[in-house]
Amino acid sequence: MSEPILEAVDLVKTYTMEDVEVRALRGVSLAVRPGEFVAIMGTSGSGKSTMMNILGCLDRPTSGSYKLAGKEVSKLGRGDLATVRNKVLGFVFQSFNLLARTSAQENVELPMVYAGIGGAERRERATFSLEKVGLGKRLDHTPAQLSGGQQQRVAIARAIVNRPKVILADEPTGNLDSRTSLEIMALFQELGRSGITIVLVTHEPDIAEFTSRVVMMRDGKILSDVAQAPVDARTALANFQEGDA
C-alpha cells in the first residue's frame, strides 16, 4: 500500500451565519491513495461541498488535520494555499468557468501564467493538453464557439496542464446531457489510468458508477465508504442508445 495522497483526519468546519452556528463537517476522516477515482455523494446540506472546498485548499478546516501529498496544509495562509492549488491540484467545475472571449489555448495557459512559466512553453503544453482531451483542432475557439462538452474538455485540459497530483471535480457533468456526461467520465477514467488521483462530487448515482470508490456523506459525517469495480465508460458509451436516459 502506498502512502495516501490525500489524508484528512477528524475535519470539523463550523460557520456562523446570522448568529446561528452551522456545523458543516462534524469530524470527517478520509484517506485517498494515488490513482484512486473517488466519488463523494450526498444530498445538499450533507457537507460534501464543504468537504470539497477543504480538500481543494479553497477553505481551511476549523479543526482537524489535512495532509496533501504528505504536507500539512490546513494552517497555510491565502498566498501559500494559492500556490498549493496551482502546483498540486486541478479543478473542474459544474459551470466550466472558462474566461469568455478568450481562446481555448489561452484558457488552458492560465494556470501556467500563475506558475511563472514562459510563453513558448505555455503554448506548447497547452496545445499538448488540448490534444489529450481531443480538442487539438480547436485551439483558437472561444467558449462561445464550443459545445458544453467541448467547454468541459477545455476545463479538464486546464486542470491537467500543470501536471497536478489530484483533480477535484465538482459536479462536472451537472450541466451536460447524458451522452456528453459519459464522454467526460470516459476522459476522467483515462486520466485515472495514467496515474492522476481524481475526487469527484456528484449527486447522481449513474455517474458514481464509473468511479472506484464511493463515499456517501450525510449531516456532515461519512455514512459509508465503499470500494467498487468501476463500470467502463467507453463500453457504456458504445452501448448508449439515444433516449436511454
Partner 1 sequence: MNLFSTFRVALLALLLNKMRSFLTVLGIIIGVGSVIAMVAIGEGAKAEVQRAFDKMGTNLLVIRSGSAQTSGVRGGAGSQPTLLWTDVDAIRKETLYVTKVAPSLRQSVQILGEGKNWTTSAEGTSPEYFEIRNWTFQYGGPFNEQDVATKAKVAVLGGTVVDNLFGNPADAVGATVRINNVPYEVIGVLARKGQAATGQDADDVVMVPAGTFAAKVQGGLRQYLGGSIYVGAASADDTRRAQAEITTLLRERHKLRDDEPDDFSVSSLAEAASARQEGTETMTRLLAGIALVSLLVGGIGIMNIMLVSVTERTREIGLRMAIGARPGDIRIQFVIEAVVLASVGGLLGVALGFGVATYLSTEFGWATKIDPQIVALALGSSALVGVGFGLYPAHKASRLDPIQALRYE
Which of residues 28, 55, 60, 91 is near partner 1 by CB under 8 A? 91
Contact between 114 and partner 1 by CB under 8 A: the answer reads yes
Contact between 16 and partner 1 by CB under 8 A: the answer reads no
Which of residues 10, 27, 29, 59 is near partner 1 by CB under 8 A? 59
Contact between 79 and partner 1 by CB under 8 A: the answer reads yes
| Closest distance to partner 1 from the beta carbon of 197 (Å) | 18
Q: Which span sits near partner 1 by CB under 8 A: 3-11, 92-100, 181-189, 233-241?
A: 92-100
Contact between 110 and partner 1 by CB under 8 A: the answer reads yes
Contact between 152 and partner 1 by CB under 8 A: the answer reads no
Which of residues 15, 71, 72, 115 is near partner 1 by CB under 8 A? 115
Write a three-state SS string for the chain: CCCCCEEEEEEEEEEEECCEEEEEEEEEEEEECCCCEEEEECCCCCCHHHHHHHHCCCCCCCEEEEEECCEECCCCCHHHHHHHHHHHEEEECCCCCCCCCCCHHHHHHHHHHHCCCCHHHHHHHHHHHHHHCCCCCCCCCCHHHCCHHHHHHHHHHHHHCCCCCEEEEECCCCCCCHHHHHHHHHHHHHHHHCCCEEEEEECCHHHHCCCCEEEEEECCEEEEEEECCCCCHHHHHHCCCCCCC
Contact between 186 and partner 1 by CB under 8 A: the answer reads no
Residues of this chain that interact with partner 1 (CB under 8 A) are 53, 56, 58-59, 78-79, 82-83, 85-87, 91, 93, 97, 99, 101, 110-111, 113-116, 119, 158, 162
